[in-house]
Structure 1
Amino acid sequence: MPPALKALLAQLAGLAAAVALARTGALVGLWPLVSVQALVAATVAAGLRSARWWLPIHLGFLPLAVVAHGAGIHPGWYLAAFVILVLVYWTSFRTQVPLYLSNPATAAAVGKLLPAHPARMLDIGAGTGALLRPLAQARPDCRFTGIELAPATWAIGRLLLRRHANIEWLRGDLFAADWSGYDLVYAFLSPVPMAAVWAKASAEMPPDSTLVSNSFAVPGHEPDAVIDVGDRRGTRLFLYRMGARGERRSG
């Protein structure tokens, strides 16, 4: 079931429970009913096996909506906030890939994984180019490509990367891009698309290239190495050396 449909069903279930209790007179007053709706929505979402980050959304959705309604905020602000969120997160509701930004410590760790010779690296779902900027400065002999789909983050990245001649900045679907010409492909996505990432990497990446996944391992496949970045976030990089498909190990 699509995540958005799960969310809708959970909210409707919470609303139905609140309405039923209001009609029986078991609960009286706005906030008790709002609380019931939020708790039921979160419980149903958990029963539908929604991702864990949906639970606080369900718990806070209607209470925050009631508070916002009572604050008398002009509708135009809601429209502006909606447009900004759409431009930043774009199709995250479908891909289930939120916006993650790689920190400088992670960039330094990835830099150590680049070959000593001039290499090509691809950052899939590159956000604002936070990883590529320090890498391009540290390795001017290498060519870097970032691909990002969300319009706002892509535009910010284009602005920030305009002075880096060794960075190619693309807007598009990461799965539509060709990964065959890169020595290293870096992903900081979510657990959801990692099986598809692995399938594409196995089909397109050349032998002796490396797939690096920040925080999210490929399901069913043992990484060749795991690097602890040592930052406050506790970042871990999962490394997969690409060779002949039959040589890959399954966990």
Structure 2
Amino acid sequence: MALVAQLAGCAGAYALARTGLVTGLWPLVLSQAGIAALASGMLGSARWWLLIHLLFLPMAVMAHRLALDPAWYLAAFVALLLIYWTSFRTQVPLYLSNAATAAAVLRLLPDEPARVLDIGAGTGTLLRPLARTRPDCSFVGVELAPAPWLLGRALCAGMPNVTLERSDLFAHSWAHYDVVYAFLSPVPMAAVWHKACAEMRPGSLLVSNSFPVPDCEADFVIDVDDRRRTRLHAYRISSRPHAS
């Protein structure tokens, strides 16, 4: 859909240039960007795509005028690839949980030693404060993108109750965890719920930061006192039938 929107923007700008209604480089560039964003909205793309379409061609033109060495573009591409990896496929960007959210999750942990899994752990911003406060618990994070995983491993060094694995969240078994935490995006939540129902033990807890499971009411919701106005949607597996 992104390519279709950009092509629509180019076609619209070309039509405006042919009629003489818009002339000059930057008026045409801005026209293309506006039409591409409008087309993206009409195609039902997520709102953040509108900003991408508005900025794509103007930034490309400005980058071209800088006449930078192509190696800089390659370096930027590699850096973004290492950070975001397969976000284009999973539609799960890099979100980092803040300290207020970690404190809220901490209050959800049982009093007895527990096993906690963070699916899409990033750099371990949730796991580290939990592990420091609850040394009796075991914390595991899975992260597929190489750069966040590597940085997380370095930051978690010396914390014996934290393990950060580089793997896909759906490839990792959730069967032995008391709490599974997710901060992903709306796109994979139906699949996350299906896996939780299929693998998590009765009585265990699935906690989703910001993104609820579609068509499934949470057992309870926690409003976190932070600037994001974070909401934690909690689902107790024992209270629901397992997915077929």
Query: Normalised by the shorter chain, which TM-score bucket?
Result: over 0.9
2: distance between equivalents of 1:198 and 1:246? 12
The Cα shift of 1:152 comes to 0.6
CA deviations 1:131-163 (Å, max 9, x no partner) are 000101100000000000001111101111111
In the alignment, what sits opposite 1:147? 142
1: distance between equivalents of 2:106 and 2:239? 25
1: distance between equivalents of 2:192 and 2:207? 11
Task: Say if 1:233 and 1:244 are closer, same or farther in 2 by CA, change over 3 A.
Answer: closer
Residue 36 in structure 1 maps to residue 31 in structure 2 = yes
CA deviations 1:57-106 (Å, max 9, x no partner) are 00010011111111222221111111111110011111111110001111
2: distance between equivalents of 1:151 and 1:232? 29
- The letter for the 1-side match of 2:70 is P
The Cα shift of 1:193 comes to 0.7
3-state SS of 1:213 partner: strand
* Partners of 2:210 and 2:233 within 8 A in 1: yes
Residue 177 in structure 1 maps to residue 172 in structure 2 = yes
3-state SS of 1:53 partner: helix
In the alignment, what sits opposite 2:22? 27
Which deviates more from structure 2 when the two are superposed, residues 64-73 or residues 54-63? Answer: 64-73
Gaps of 5+ in 1: 1-5
3-state SS of 1:185 partner: strand
Instruction: Map 1:42-121 to 2 at 5 A.
Output: 42-121=37-116
Gaps of 5+ in 2: none
3-state SS of 2:238 partner: coil
Normalised to the residue count of structure 2, the TM-score between the two structures is 0.96
* Partners of 2:198 and 2:242 within 8 A in 1: no
Residue 161 in structure 1 maps to residue 150 in structure 2 = no
In the alignment, what sits opposite 1:230? 225
- The letter for the 1-side match of 2:175 is S
Residue 217 in structure 1 maps to residue 212 in structure 2 = yes
In the alignment, what sits opposite 1:203? 198
Which residue, 161, 180, 186 being the options, matches 1:191?
186
3-state SS of 2:157 partner: coil
2: distance between equivalents of 1:247 and 1:147? 24
3-state SS of 1:97 partner: coil
Stretches (4+) displaced over 3 A: none
- The letter for the 2-side match of 1:183 is D
1: distance between equivalents of 2:205 and 2:101? 16
- Measured on the aligned residues, the alpha-carbon RMSD in Å equals 1.3
The Cα shift of 1:244 comes to 5.9
Normalised to the residue count of structure 1, the TM-score between the two structures is 0.94
2: distance between equivalents of 1:10 and 1:100? 26
- The letter for the 1-side match of 2:160 is A
Aligned sequence identity (%) = 66
The Cα shift of 1:20 comes to 2.5
2: distance between equivalents of 1:114 and 1:143? 11
